[in-house]
Protein backbone atom coordinates (compact mmCIF):
# COMPACT_ATOMS: atom_id res chain seq x y z
CA UNK A 1 0.00 0.00 0.00
CA UNK A 2 1.55 3.28 -1.10
CA UNK A 3 -0.78 5.88 0.30
CA UNK A 4 -4.27 6.27 1.62
CA UNK A 5 -6.91 8.89 2.13
CA UNK A 6 -10.20 8.92 3.90
CA UNK A 7 -13.00 9.51 1.42
CA UNK A 8 -16.02 9.55 3.70
CA UNK A 9 -17.02 8.84 7.26
CA UNK A 10 -16.49 10.58 10.55
CA UNK A 11 -13.32 9.35 12.20
CA UNK A 12 -9.99 10.97 11.43
CA UNK A 13 -6.86 9.05 10.58
CA UNK A 14 -3.35 9.33 9.24
CA UNK A 15 -1.66 6.81 6.95
CA UNK A 16 -3.67 3.64 6.88
CA UNK A 17 -1.04 1.28 8.26
CA UNK A 18 0.51 3.65 10.71
CA UNK A 19 -2.34 5.38 12.52
CA UNK A 20 -2.79 4.42 16.14
CA UNK A 21 -4.92 1.31 16.31
CA UNK A 22 -7.45 2.85 18.67
CA UNK A 23 -8.22 5.69 16.22
CA UNK A 24 -9.82 3.28 13.78
CA UNK A 25 -11.56 0.22 15.20
CA UNK A 26 -13.02 -0.75 11.83
CA UNK A 27 -13.08 0.62 8.32
CA UNK A 28 -13.81 -0.08 4.66
CA UNK A 29 -10.75 0.00 2.42
CA UNK A 30 -11.24 1.00 -1.22
CA UNK A 31 -8.54 -0.06 -3.68
CA UNK A 32 -8.61 2.65 -6.35
CA UNK A 33 -6.04 0.86 -8.52
CA UNK A 34 -8.32 -2.20 -8.65
CA UNK A 35 -11.28 0.04 -9.44
CA UNK A 36 -9.38 1.70 -12.25
CA UNK A 37 -8.32 -1.65 -13.68
CA UNK A 38 -11.88 -2.99 -13.54
CA UNK A 39 -13.14 0.06 -15.44
CA UNK A 40 -10.38 -0.37 -18.02
CA UNK A 41 -11.23 -4.06 -18.36
CA UNK A 42 -14.91 -3.30 -18.98
CA UNK A 43 -14.14 -0.39 -21.33
CA UNK A 44 -11.69 -2.59 -23.26
CA UNK A 45 -14.43 -5.18 -23.71
CA UNK A 46 -16.65 -2.67 -25.58
CA UNK A 47 -16.50 -1.56 -29.17
CA UNK A 48 -15.12 1.98 -29.54
CA UNK A 49 -18.58 3.36 -30.31
CA UNK A 50 -20.09 2.12 -27.01
CA UNK A 51 -19.76 4.35 -23.97
CA UNK A 52 -19.42 3.16 -20.41
CA UNK A 53 -21.75 4.48 -17.72
CA UNK A 54 -20.39 3.72 -14.25
CA UNK A 55 -23.38 3.14 -11.99
CA UNK A 56 -22.56 4.84 -8.69
CA UNK A 57 -25.96 4.78 -6.98
CA UNK A 58 -26.19 4.01 -3.25
CA UNK A 59 -22.87 5.77 -2.55
CA UNK A 60 -21.23 3.71 -5.30
CA UNK A 61 -22.51 0.43 -3.85
CA UNK A 62 -21.07 1.51 -0.49
CA UNK A 63 -17.63 2.40 -1.90
CA UNK A 64 -17.90 6.23 -1.70
CA UNK A 65 -19.59 7.93 -4.66
CA UNK A 66 -17.42 10.96 -5.44
CA UNK A 67 -14.06 9.19 -5.30
CA UNK A 68 -15.36 6.21 -7.25
CA UNK A 69 -16.92 8.50 -9.87
CA UNK A 70 -13.71 10.49 -10.30
CA UNK A 71 -11.61 7.34 -10.64
CA UNK A 72 -14.07 5.72 -13.05
CA UNK A 73 -14.13 8.82 -15.26
CA UNK A 74 -10.33 8.94 -15.30
CA UNK A 75 -10.22 5.26 -16.28
CA UNK A 76 -12.59 5.10 -19.24
CA UNK A 77 -16.16 5.77 -18.09
CA UNK A 78 -17.90 8.79 -19.59
CA UNK A 79 -21.34 8.63 -17.97
CA UNK A 80 -22.50 8.20 -14.37
CA UNK A 81 -25.73 6.62 -13.16
CA UNK A 82 -27.36 7.39 -9.81
CA UNK A 83 -30.71 6.49 -8.28
CA UNK A 84 -31.84 9.79 -6.79
CA UNK A 85 -31.55 13.56 -7.14
CA UNK A 86 -29.51 13.98 -3.91
CA UNK A 87 -27.04 11.37 -5.20
CA UNK A 88 -26.63 13.42 -8.37
CA UNK A 89 -26.20 16.66 -6.43
CA UNK A 90 -23.54 15.03 -4.25
CA UNK A 91 -21.49 14.27 -7.39
CA UNK A 92 -21.91 17.81 -8.75
CA UNK A 93 -20.92 19.27 -5.36
CA UNK A 94 -17.88 17.00 -5.54
CA UNK A 95 -16.88 18.80 -8.73
CA UNK A 96 -17.95 16.18 -11.25
CA UNK A 97 -18.87 17.53 -14.69
CA UNK A 98 -19.73 14.31 -16.57
CA UNK A 99 -23.33 13.60 -17.65
CA UNK A 100 -25.34 12.06 -14.81
CA UNK A 101 -28.44 9.95 -15.45
CA UNK A 102 -30.93 9.57 -12.60
CA UNK A 103 -32.15 5.98 -12.95
CA UNK A 104 -35.01 6.39 -10.48
CA UNK A 105 -38.31 8.22 -10.92
CA UNK A 106 -38.63 11.95 -10.18
CA UNK A 107 -41.91 13.89 -10.04
CA UNK A 108 -42.01 16.84 -7.68
CA UNK A 109 -41.38 20.48 -8.63
CA UNK A 110 -38.49 20.54 -6.12
CA UNK A 111 -36.86 17.54 -7.79
CA UNK A 112 -37.39 18.97 -11.27
CA UNK A 113 -35.98 22.33 -10.25
CA UNK A 114 -32.91 20.64 -8.74
CA UNK A 115 -32.44 18.54 -11.89
CA UNK A 116 -32.46 21.69 -14.03
CA UNK A 117 -30.20 23.61 -11.67
CA UNK A 118 -27.60 20.87 -11.23
CA UNK A 119 -27.71 19.72 -14.87
CA UNK A 120 -28.81 16.20 -14.02
CA UNK A 121 -30.63 14.04 -16.56
CA UNK A 122 -33.92 12.46 -15.52
CA UNK A 123 -35.56 9.21 -16.53
CA UNK A 124 -39.08 9.64 -17.92
CA UNK A 125 -41.28 6.63 -17.23
CA UNK A 126 -44.76 7.73 -18.28
CA UNK A 127 -46.65 10.36 -20.29
CA UNK A 128 -48.02 11.79 -17.04
CA UNK A 129 -44.54 12.33 -15.68
CA UNK A 130 -43.41 13.90 -18.97
CA UNK A 131 -46.28 16.42 -18.75
CA UNK A 132 -45.37 17.28 -15.15
CA UNK A 133 -41.80 17.96 -16.28
CA UNK A 134 -42.86 20.18 -19.18
CA UNK A 135 -45.34 22.12 -17.01
CA UNK A 136 -42.92 22.60 -14.15
CA UNK A 137 -40.14 23.79 -16.45
CA UNK A 138 -42.62 26.21 -18.06
CA UNK A 139 -43.63 27.54 -14.62
CA UNK A 140 -40.07 28.10 -13.45
CA UNK A 141 -39.25 29.64 -16.84
CA UNK A 142 -36.27 27.41 -17.37
CA UNK A 143 -34.77 28.34 -20.71
CA UNK A 144 -32.51 25.63 -22.08
CA UNK A 145 -34.16 22.27 -22.80
CA UNK A 146 -33.42 19.40 -20.43
CA UNK A 147 -32.08 16.11 -21.82
CA UNK A 148 -34.40 13.29 -20.76
CA UNK A 149 -34.09 9.52 -20.99
CA UNK A 150 -37.14 7.51 -21.95
CA UNK A 151 -37.57 4.30 -20.00
CA UNK A 152 -39.36 1.35 -21.57
CA UNK A 153 -40.63 -1.64 -19.66
CA UNK A 154 -39.74 -4.68 -21.78
CA UNK A 155 -40.32 -7.27 -19.06
CA UNK A 156 -38.75 -6.14 -15.78
CA UNK A 157 -42.14 -4.79 -14.61
CA UNK A 158 -40.44 -1.98 -12.77
CA UNK A 159 -40.15 1.59 -14.09
CA UNK A 160 -41.08 2.47 -17.64
CA UNK A 161 -43.79 2.66 -20.26
CA UNK A 162 -44.81 -0.63 -21.81
CA UNK A 163 -42.66 -1.25 -24.91
CA UNK A 164 -45.76 -1.51 -27.12
CA UNK A 165 -46.52 2.16 -26.41
CA UNK A 166 -42.92 3.26 -27.00
CA UNK A 167 -43.52 5.14 -30.27
CA UNK A 168 -46.50 7.13 -28.91
CA UNK A 169 -44.56 8.00 -25.78
CA UNK A 170 -41.48 9.17 -27.65
CA UNK A 171 -43.65 11.21 -29.98
CA UNK A 172 -45.37 12.90 -27.03
CA UNK A 173 -42.09 13.79 -25.34
CA UNK A 174 -40.66 15.16 -28.59
CA UNK A 175 -43.65 17.49 -28.92
CA UNK A 176 -43.34 18.83 -25.36
CA UNK A 177 -41.44 22.06 -24.78
CA UNK A 178 -38.31 22.22 -22.59
CA UNK A 179 -37.38 18.55 -23.13
CA UNK A 180 -35.02 16.82 -25.56
CA UNK A 181 -34.86 13.06 -25.86
CA UNK A 182 -31.28 12.05 -25.00
CA UNK A 183 -31.84 8.30 -24.91
CA UNK A 184 -34.29 5.45 -24.93
CA UNK A 185 -33.54 2.59 -22.60
CA UNK A 186 -34.78 -0.49 -20.82
CA UNK A 187 -33.58 -2.79 -18.05
CA UNK A 188 -33.15 -6.56 -18.07
CA UNK A 189 -34.63 -8.82 -15.41
CA UNK A 190 -32.61 -12.01 -15.86
CA UNK A 191 -29.30 -11.05 -17.45
CA UNK A 192 -27.31 -12.87 -14.73
CA UNK A 193 -29.02 -16.20 -15.43
CA UNK A 194 -27.30 -18.80 -17.65
CA UNK A 195 -30.74 -19.34 -19.19
CA UNK A 196 -31.04 -16.46 -21.65
CA UNK A 197 -34.65 -17.05 -22.76
CA UNK A 198 -36.24 -14.11 -20.93
CA UNK A 199 -33.33 -11.82 -21.75
CA UNK A 200 -33.67 -12.65 -25.46
CA UNK A 201 -37.38 -11.89 -25.28
CA UNK A 202 -36.69 -8.50 -23.66
CA UNK A 203 -34.04 -7.78 -26.29
CA UNK A 204 -36.56 -8.64 -29.02
CA UNK A 205 -39.17 -6.31 -27.48
CA UNK A 206 -36.61 -3.52 -27.25
CA UNK A 207 -35.80 -4.04 -30.94
CA UNK A 208 -39.52 -3.97 -31.83
CA UNK A 209 -39.96 -0.71 -29.95
CA UNK A 210 -37.01 0.79 -31.83
CA UNK A 211 -38.50 -0.38 -35.13
CA UNK A 212 -41.84 1.30 -34.28
CA UNK A 213 -40.07 4.55 -33.44
CA UNK A 214 -38.03 4.45 -36.63
CA UNK A 215 -41.18 3.71 -38.64
CA UNK A 216 -42.60 7.06 -37.50
CA UNK A 217 -39.61 8.75 -39.07
CA UNK A 218 -38.16 9.70 -35.68
CA UNK A 219 -34.40 9.91 -35.58
CA UNK A 220 -33.07 7.58 -32.92
CA UNK A 221 -31.29 8.99 -29.89
CA UNK A 222 -28.81 6.90 -27.81
CA UNK A 223 -30.04 3.44 -26.93
CA UNK A 224 -29.04 1.36 -23.91
CA UNK A 225 -30.08 -1.90 -22.33
CA UNK A 226 -27.20 -3.69 -20.63
CA UNK A 227 -26.23 -3.95 -16.96
CA UNK A 228 -23.01 -5.73 -15.87
CA UNK A 229 -24.31 -9.22 -16.64
CA UNK A 230 -25.65 -8.34 -20.10
CA UNK A 231 -22.46 -6.44 -20.89
CA UNK A 232 -20.40 -9.56 -20.17
CA UNK A 233 -22.86 -11.86 -21.93
CA UNK A 234 -23.37 -10.51 -25.44
CA UNK A 235 -22.10 -7.51 -27.40
CA UNK A 236 -25.42 -7.40 -29.29
CA UNK A 237 -26.85 -5.95 -26.06
CA UNK A 238 -24.32 -3.12 -25.79
CA UNK A 239 -25.94 -0.49 -28.07
CA UNK A 240 -24.58 3.04 -27.43
CA UNK A 241 -24.04 2.91 -23.66
CA UNK A 242 -23.68 0.10 -21.13
CA UNK A 243 -24.72 0.76 -17.52
CA UNK A 244 -22.25 -1.12 -15.37
CA UNK A 245 -22.33 -1.28 -11.58
CA UNK A 246 -21.23 -4.54 -10.01
CA UNK A 247 -18.37 -5.30 -12.42
CA UNK A 248 -16.81 -1.90 -11.74
CA UNK A 249 -16.60 -2.94 -8.08
CA UNK A 250 -14.81 -6.12 -9.11
CA UNK A 251 -17.46 -8.78 -8.63
CA UNK A 252 -19.00 -11.06 -11.23
CA UNK A 253 -22.81 -11.00 -11.55
CA UNK A 254 -22.76 -14.78 -11.82
CA UNK A 255 -20.17 -17.57 -11.63
CA UNK A 256 -20.79 -18.52 -15.27
CA UNK A 257 -19.43 -15.09 -16.33
CA UNK A 258 -16.10 -15.44 -14.50
CA UNK A 259 -14.14 -16.32 -17.63
CA UNK A 260 -15.02 -13.11 -19.50
CA UNK A 261 -12.80 -10.30 -18.19
CA UNK A 262 -10.50 -10.11 -15.19
CA UNK A 263 -12.06 -8.29 -12.25
CA UNK A 264 -10.67 -7.66 -8.76
CA UNK A 265 -12.75 -6.78 -5.70
CA UNK A 266 -12.30 -3.11 -4.80
CA UNK A 267 -13.66 -3.22 -1.26
CA UNK A 268 -12.08 -4.78 1.82
CA UNK A 269 -13.65 -4.77 5.26
CA UNK A 270 -11.19 -4.54 8.13
CA UNK A 271 -11.26 -4.15 11.90
CA UNK A 272 -8.87 -4.44 14.80
CA UNK A 273 -8.48 -6.87 17.67
CA UNK A 274 -9.48 -4.94 20.79
CA UNK A 275 -8.85 -7.64 23.43
CA UNK A 276 -7.34 -11.13 23.58
CA UNK A 277 -8.08 -13.62 26.36
CA UNK A 278 -8.08 -17.33 27.20
CA UNK A 279 -11.37 -18.98 28.13
CA UNK A 280 -11.81 -22.36 29.79
CA UNK A 281 -13.45 -25.36 28.17
CA UNK A 282 -17.24 -25.13 28.63
CA UNK A 283 -17.33 -21.31 28.74
CA UNK A 284 -20.21 -19.70 26.84
CA UNK A 285 -19.44 -16.89 24.36
CA UNK A 286 -21.58 -13.80 23.62
CA UNK A 287 -25.36 -13.22 23.90
CA UNK A 288 -27.40 -16.35 24.34
CA UNK A 289 -24.27 -18.46 24.74
CA UNK A 290 -24.82 -19.77 21.21
CA UNK A 291 -21.20 -20.95 21.29
CA UNK A 292 -19.72 -23.00 24.14
CA UNK A 293 -15.95 -23.49 24.09
CA UNK A 294 -15.32 -27.21 23.39
CA UNK A 295 -11.81 -26.87 24.88
CA UNK A 296 -9.71 -24.16 26.41
CA UNK A 297 -9.34 -21.56 23.70
CA UNK A 298 -7.80 -18.23 22.89
CA UNK A 299 -10.45 -15.68 22.03
CA UNK A 300 -10.08 -12.31 20.28
CA UNK A 301 -12.64 -9.55 20.53
CA UNK A 302 -12.87 -7.58 17.26
CA UNK A 303 -14.22 -4.03 17.06
CA UNK A 304 -16.93 -4.43 14.45
CA UNK A 305 -20.53 -5.61 14.64
CA UNK A 306 -23.94 -5.61 13.02
CA UNK A 307 -24.32 -1.84 13.47
CA UNK A 308 -21.42 -1.57 11.02
CA UNK A 309 -23.13 -3.89 8.56
CA UNK A 310 -21.72 -7.30 9.45
CA UNK A 311 -24.92 -9.36 9.16
CA UNK A 312 -25.88 -10.90 12.51
CA UNK A 313 -27.09 -13.95 10.59
CA UNK A 314 -23.45 -14.79 9.92
CA UNK A 315 -22.95 -15.52 13.65
CA UNK A 316 -20.98 -18.78 14.09
CA UNK A 317 -20.89 -19.17 10.28
CA UNK A 318 -18.32 -16.66 9.07
CA UNK A 319 -14.56 -16.67 9.07
CA UNK A 320 -12.02 -13.88 9.23
CA UNK A 321 -8.39 -13.53 8.17
CA UNK A 322 -5.65 -12.71 10.69
CA UNK A 323 -1.94 -12.99 9.81
CA UNK A 324 -2.94 -14.79 6.61
CA UNK A 325 -4.84 -17.48 8.52
CA UNK A 326 -8.54 -18.24 8.13
CA UNK A 327 -10.14 -18.33 11.59
CA UNK A 328 -13.71 -19.03 12.76
CA UNK A 329 -15.94 -16.34 14.21
CA UNK A 330 -17.62 -17.66 17.38
CA UNK A 331 -20.76 -16.70 19.30
CA UNK A 332 -23.46 -14.23 18.37
CA UNK A 333 -22.28 -11.14 16.48
CA UNK A 334 -23.16 -8.12 18.65
CA UNK A 335 -23.93 -4.54 17.68
CA UNK A 336 -20.35 -3.27 17.81
CA UNK A 337 -18.15 -6.30 18.42
CA UNK A 338 -17.67 -9.93 17.53
CA UNK A 339 -15.45 -12.75 18.75
CA UNK A 340 -12.99 -15.01 16.93
CA UNK A 341 -11.26 -18.25 17.94
CA UNK A 342 -7.58 -17.34 17.62
CA UNK A 343 -6.14 -20.40 19.38
CA UNK A 344 -3.82 -21.00 16.41
CA UNK A 345 -2.11 -17.61 17.00
CA UNK A 346 -1.15 -17.70 20.69
CA UNK A 347 0.88 -14.48 20.52
CA UNK A 348 -1.82 -12.41 18.77
CA UNK A 349 -1.66 -8.79 19.91
CA UNK A 350 -4.41 -6.28 20.57
CA UNK A 351 -4.52 -3.77 17.70
CA UNK A 352 -3.73 -6.30 14.99
CA UNK A 353 -5.73 -6.09 11.78
CA UNK A 354 -8.57 -8.50 11.03
CA UNK A 355 -9.80 -8.81 7.45
CA UNK A 356 -13.49 -9.72 7.26
CA UNK A 357 -13.76 -9.26 3.49
CA UNK A 358 -10.68 -9.18 1.31
CA UNK A 359 -7.39 -10.99 1.00
CA UNK A 360 -4.44 -11.79 3.26
CA UNK A 361 -1.64 -13.87 1.81
CA UNK A 362 -3.15 -16.83 -0.03
CA UNK A 363 -6.51 -16.54 1.67
CA UNK A 364 -9.47 -14.56 0.39
CA UNK A 365 -13.03 -13.97 1.59
CA UNK A 366 -15.39 -12.31 -0.88
CA UNK A 367 -18.81 -10.69 -0.78
CA UNK A 368 -19.93 -13.70 -2.84
CA UNK A 369 -19.00 -16.00 0.07
CA UNK A 370 -21.18 -13.99 2.46
CA UNK A 371 -23.98 -13.72 -0.09
CA UNK A 372 -24.02 -17.49 -0.56
CA UNK A 373 -24.15 -18.13 3.19
CA UNK A 374 -26.97 -15.59 3.60
CA UNK A 375 -28.92 -16.65 0.52
CA UNK A 376 -28.66 -13.19 -1.00
CA UNK A 377 -26.58 -11.43 -3.68
CA UNK A 378 -23.23 -9.65 -3.49
CA UNK A 379 -24.91 -6.34 -4.44
CA UNK A 380 -26.76 -6.36 -1.10
CA UNK A 381 -23.61 -7.21 0.86
CA UNK A 382 -21.67 -4.29 -0.66
CA UNK A 383 -24.48 -1.82 -0.02
CA UNK A 384 -24.84 -2.97 3.59
CA UNK A 385 -21.84 -1.25 5.20
CA UNK A 386 -22.94 1.63 7.36
CA UNK A 387 -21.55 5.11 7.38
CA UNK A 388 -20.09 4.59 10.82
CA UNK A 389 -17.29 2.85 8.93
CA UNK A 390 -14.91 5.33 7.36
CA UNK A 391 -14.08 4.61 3.71
CA UNK A 392 -10.33 4.71 3.29
CA UNK A 393 -9.02 4.89 -0.27
CA UNK A 394 -5.70 3.18 -0.98
CA UNK A 395 -3.74 3.67 -4.18
C1 LIG B 1 -28.40 -0.61 -10.76
C2 LIG B 1 -28.68 -0.55 -12.21
C3 LIG B 1 -27.72 -0.95 -13.14
C4 LIG B 1 -26.40 -1.59 -12.76
O5 LIG B 1 -26.59 -2.95 -12.48
P6 LIG B 1 -25.35 -3.96 -12.23
O7 LIG B 1 -25.97 -5.29 -12.25
O8 LIG B 1 -24.81 -3.61 -10.87
O9 LIG B 1 -24.36 -3.72 -13.30
C10 LIG B 1 -28.02 -0.76 -14.49
N11 LIG B 1 -29.20 -0.24 -14.88
C12 LIG B 1 -30.16 0.13 -14.00
C13 LIG B 1 -31.44 0.68 -14.50
C14 LIG B 1 -29.94 -0.03 -12.64
O15 LIG B 1 -30.90 0.31 -11.77
The residue extents of the domains of the chain are 31-257, 267-394
The answer to whether residue 57 is catalytic is: yes
User: How many H-runs (helices) and E-runs (strands) does the chain carry?
Assistant: 11, 21
Q: What is the pTM of this model?
A: 0.94
Mutate to test the pocket of ligand 1, among 121, 227, 265, 381 (most ligand atoms within 8 A of CB): 227
Note the pLDDT of residue 2: 45
Identified catalytic residue from 5, 97, 119, 287: 287
Active site residue 151: no
pLDDT of residue 5: 64
What is the structure's pLDDT at 395?
A: 82
Q: Ligand 1 centroid vs 258 CA: distance in angstroms?
A: 18
> Active-site residue among 57, 61, 151, 185?
57
Residues 6+ apart with CB under 8 A from 217: none
From the CA of 248, give the closest atom in ligand 1. Answer: 9
**The pLDDT of residue 378:** 97
Question: Ligand 1: distance of its center to the CA of 380 in Å?
Answer: 13
Which pLDDT belongs to residue 141?
A: 87
Torsion of Cα atoms, 327 then 32 then 88 then 183, to 10°: -110
Strand partners, 146: 179
Residues 6+ apart with CB under 8 A from 255: none
Q: Which of 109, 113, 64, 110 is nearest to 90 (CA)?
A: 64
Cα–Cα nearest to 5, from 54, 57, 70:
70
Q: By alpha-carbon position, which residue is closest to atom 4 of ligand 1?
A: 245
Q: Which of 103, 226, 237, 377 to mutate to test the pocket of ligand 1 (most atoms within 8 A of CB)?
A: 103
Instruction: Pick the residue whose CA is nearest to atom 6 on ligand 1.
Output: 245
pLDDT of residue 14: 38
Q: How remote is the CA of residue 244 from the centroid of ligand 1, in Å? A: 6
Q: What is the pLDDT of residue 12?
A: 36
* Closest atom of ligand 1 to CA, residue 61: 8
Of 376, 356, 373, 374, which is closest to residue 364 (Cα–Cα)?
A: 356
- Angle among Cα 116, 118, 122 to the nearest 5 degrees reads 55
Q: Which atom of ligand 1 is nearest to the CA of 187?
A: 13
Answer whether 392's CB lies under 8 Å from 7's CB.
Answer: yes
Residue closest via CA to ligand 1's atom 3 equals 227
Please, are residues 10 and 24 in contact by the beta-carbon 8 Å criterion?
no
**Which ligand 1 atom is the nearest neighbour of the CA of 247?**
9
Q: pLDDT averaged over consecutive 10-residue blocks of the chain (395 residues)?
A: 53 42 82 98 97 98 97 98 98 98 97 97 98 95 92 98 97 96 98 97 98 96 98 98 98 96 98 98 98 98 98 98 98 98 97 97 97 98 95 91
pLDDT at 4: 60
Residue with the nearest Cα to atom 15 of ligand 1? 103
Class of domain 31-257: alpha beta
Distance 146 CA to ligand 1 centre (A): 23
- Residues in the ligand 1 pocket, defined by CB under 6 Å: 55, 57, 103, 187, 227-229, 243-246, 253
**Residue 245 Cα to ligand 1 middle (Å):** 6
- The top-level CATH class assigned to 267-394 is mainly beta
By CB neighbour count within 10 A (0-12 exposed, 13-18 middle, 19+ buried), where does 286 fall? Answer: buried
- Nearest ligand 1 atom, CA 185: 13
- Render 83-152 in DSSP notation, one character per residue: SSHHHHHHHHHTT--S-EEE-S---SHHHHHHHHHTT-B-EE-SHHHHHHHHHHHHHTT--SPEEEEEEE
Amino acid sequence: MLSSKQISGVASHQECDTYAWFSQRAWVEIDLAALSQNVQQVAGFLSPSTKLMAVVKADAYGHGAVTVAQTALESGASWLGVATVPEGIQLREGGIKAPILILGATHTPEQIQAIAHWKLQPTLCSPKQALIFANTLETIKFNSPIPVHIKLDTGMSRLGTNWEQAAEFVQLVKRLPHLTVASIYSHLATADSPDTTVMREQHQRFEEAIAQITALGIELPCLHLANSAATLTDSALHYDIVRVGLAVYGLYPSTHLQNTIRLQPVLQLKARVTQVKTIASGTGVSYGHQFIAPRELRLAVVGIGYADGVPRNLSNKMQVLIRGQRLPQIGTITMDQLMVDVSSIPDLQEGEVVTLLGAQGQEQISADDWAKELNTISWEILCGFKHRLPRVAVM
